Structure 1
Amino acid sequence: MTLDVSKARALAGVPHVFLGRTGGVSGGIFDSLNVGLGSSDDRAAVAENRARAVTAIGDGLTLTTLHQVHSPTVVTADAAWSDDARPEADGVVTNKRGLALGILTADCAPVLFADLEAGVIGAAHAGWKGAFTGVLANTVSAMEALGADRKRIAAAIGPCIARKSYEVDDAFRRRFTEADPENDSFFTPGREGHHQFDLEGFVARRLAETGIATVEMLGEDTYSQGGRYFSYRRTTHAGEPDYGRQISLIALP
């Protein structure tokens, strides 16, 4: 089975991919391209899947991922680190060739960034908490510290859970509307005491607020496309004991 590859028009000319769950060697609930080191999947299978994933954007690249913790923290990669030395962060930027920056997701939004003229790229893991607390703005700022210009930065939001699939409660909605009443536009009424939250739309707005040049949304729902994507929420609803993670990657040409 081949890799399920999606790309963004906004990142044309920049090696990048948003991968789905197919084309790997894992079995069972992790079928098949599970790249999650934190999962209970066989470590050798995960390593093979990660090696396959990075070849989707080029040869001779070193995969560079994070220990993601739903934070606003962003780090700069001057060189690759080992899988066992991944920093706790949810955004990473670089101006070094040879690195494939990777973000793992299973409903949260992966966001890839590039200022091709400056030769600076970034990647962020934007769940609701990271997006709410500033990981996207911090990624843009970290890119500027390497010489990027936010007026040239393009960003693309990859597959994530869609509004129709993302039910939240009143307390969740209040957190957003108390911070900014305009955030109410990202919620639509659901069953009593609940709402449907537009994570992708919220992430797009947070990106637009940074003043970057371009924001593209792929519009792919991880929850409803079980054959294409892993989903934490779908796994939870199914009562499964664990879940896989897909990866989104970007590198300098």
Structure 2
Amino acid sequence: MTSAPTLTVRRVVTTRAGGFSAPPFDSFNLGDHVGDDPNAVRRNRTRLAEGIGLPPERLVWMEQIHGRNVEILDGPRSEPVPATDALVTTVPDLALVVVTADCVPILLSDDEAGVLAAVHAGRIGARIGIVPRVLEAMVSVGARIDRIGAFLGPAASGRQYEVPAAMRADVETHLPGSATTTVRGTPALDLRAGIRRQLTEAGVGAVAEDPRCTIEDRTLFSHRRGAPTGRLAGAIWMEPGDRA
């Protein structure tokens, strides 16, 4: 009787440093939709692939639209997946990539089942339910909710993400736990807090968080702090255990 091969889940989040882009995209911009030199973006994406040990064609990107569309992948794509804010796969050595500059990058995995997801969750996507949609998709290909672990990457913190009071109330209605107040005492949103609560209440087994605020931390890109700007990348992939 042959046992199933062991897979090791890997995750990475980039910073601004180490790339080829000129200001204001300096320097490791991974976004191809922000006005940066396309050749610099290609070089940056190649460098990311080299850094994680995969060929560039094994990284899958999205045309993110602040929606709740989820794509289940059975292999690489030659172009970014159109009009999609979440990717799910069971394929080893295939990296799912989400780009952000204040929105929440979510990297999910059921390590036992070998099911991965990368999610772009901004205010609009989180409000309209991208997270429940991706959990459903993961379950449909073999994941179990209580085995799923989630990682919330760097994003705008509630300390700085100021919004109108009516917007805060509206998002709180759809994403409970997200309403908060800035350090200045003004209405704000903490999307990671709301998403964490949503994941926990859904039964997700563990939720970890990178506490960095993109608005405060100048080693990270932030659209709110200064647009135009570049995009960070969050990536998740599986590799055979004998390469771990």
Partner of 1:144: 139
Question: What is the DSSP-based 3-state SS (H/G/I as helix, E as strand, rest coil) of the residue aligned with 1:205?
Answer: helix
1:244 aligns with 2:218: no
Per-residue deviation at 1:190?
A: 6.9
User: C-alpha separation between the residues in 2 aligned to 1:48 and 1:103?
Assistant: 17
Q: 1:43 aligns with which of 23, 33, 38?
A: 38
TM-score, structure 1 as length reference: 0.86
User: C-alpha separation between the residues in 2 aligned to 1:248 and 1:179?
Assistant: 25
User: C-alpha separation between the residues in 1 aligned to 2:151 and 2:98?
Assistant: 13
Partner of 1:219: 211
Per-residue deviation at 1:82?
A: 2.0
Partner of 2:4: none
Per-residue deviation at 1:173?
A: 1.6
Counterpart code for 2:207 = V
Could you give the per-residue CA deviations for residues 16-75 of structure 1, whole angstroms, max 9, x where no partner exists? 101111110111111100011102111111001011112332234611011001111111
Counterpart code for 1:102 = V
User: C-alpha separation between the residues in 2 aligned to 1:54 and 1:155?
Assistant: 22
Contact 2:90 2:116 in 1 (8 A): yes
The count of aligned residue pairs is: 232
**Structure 1 residues 179 and 152, CA gap change in structure 2 (3 angstroms):** closer
User: C-alpha separation between the residues in 2 aligned to 1:156 and 1:211?
Assistant: 15
CA RMSD of aligned residues (A): 1.9
Q: 1:153 aligns with which of 142, 145, 148?
A: 148
Partner of 1:120: 115
TM-score, structure 2 as length reference: 0.89
Query: For structure 2, which runs of at least 5 residues remain unmatched after alignment?
Result: 1-6, 240-244
User: C-alpha separation between the residues in 2 aligned to 1:177 and 1:158?
Assistant: 21
User: C-alpha separation between the residues in 2 aligned to 1:58 and 1:140?
Assistant: 28
**Structure 1 residues 178 and 210, CA gap change in structure 2 (3 angstroms):** closer
Contact 1:57 1:249 in 2 (8 A): no
User: C-alpha separation between the residues in 2 aligned to 1:87 and 1:66?
Assistant: 6
Could you give the per-residue CA deviations for residues 181-208 of structure 1, whole angstroms, max 9, x where no partner exists? x54x63126768x412212211211221
Q: 2:226 aligns with which of 235, 238, 248?
A: 235
Contact 1:76 1:93 in 2 (8 A): yes
Query: For structure 1, which runs of at least 5 residues remain unmatched after alignment?
Result: 1-11, 237-241
Partner of 2:3: none
Partner of 1:4: none
